[in-house]
Every structure is written in structure tokens, then in C-alpha cells.
Amino acid sequence: MSDLDLVIVGKEKMPINEYYALKDAFEYSELPFRVDLLDWHRISKGFQKLILKNYVPLVD
């Protein structure tokens, strides 16, 4: 199954209750693919560097 890796980039960490609500909404949606949701401020600097090499912004 295909998936979409979606990283939320904000000025600070997303409130944890909002993060899990959004994560649950994607999990229980009827989208024909899985969505892996990440909060930019909760991932390692190494993973951030990897993302910056090859990403497509959805909203500026």
C-alpha cells in the first residue's frame, strides 16, 4: 500500500492533543492510502536534514 509522509512544520511543537486528533483523523479516513504524520519539532535533526534534501511543500 502506498503512503504519504506528511510533516507539520510550525513555529513550535504542535500541541500533543491536536497532533493525536489529526493523526487519528487520517488513520480513520477513507483515503486510499496511509498518511504518516510527523511534527517537525518532534523528529531528530538528522531526520530533518534528510527531509530537507527532498521535500515538496504543500502550503507556504
User: Catalytic residue at 24?
Assistant: no
Question: Is 9 a member of any domain?
Answer: yes
pTM, rounded to two decimals:
0.80
Residue 60 has a pLDDT of 74
Question: Could you give the CA distance from residue 45 to residue 27 in angstroms, rounded to a whole number?
Answer: 26
Please state the domain count of the chain. 1
The one catalytic residue in 5, 24, 36, 60 is 5
Q: What's the domain range around 17? A: 3-53
**Each residue's pLDDT tens digit in the chain (60 positions)?**
579 999 999 999 999 999 999 999 999 999 999 999 999 999 999 999 999 999 999 887
Residue 1 has a pLDDT of 59
User: Catalytic residue at 60?
Assistant: no
Question: Is 7 a member of any domain?
Answer: yes
Residue 20 has a pLDDT of 96
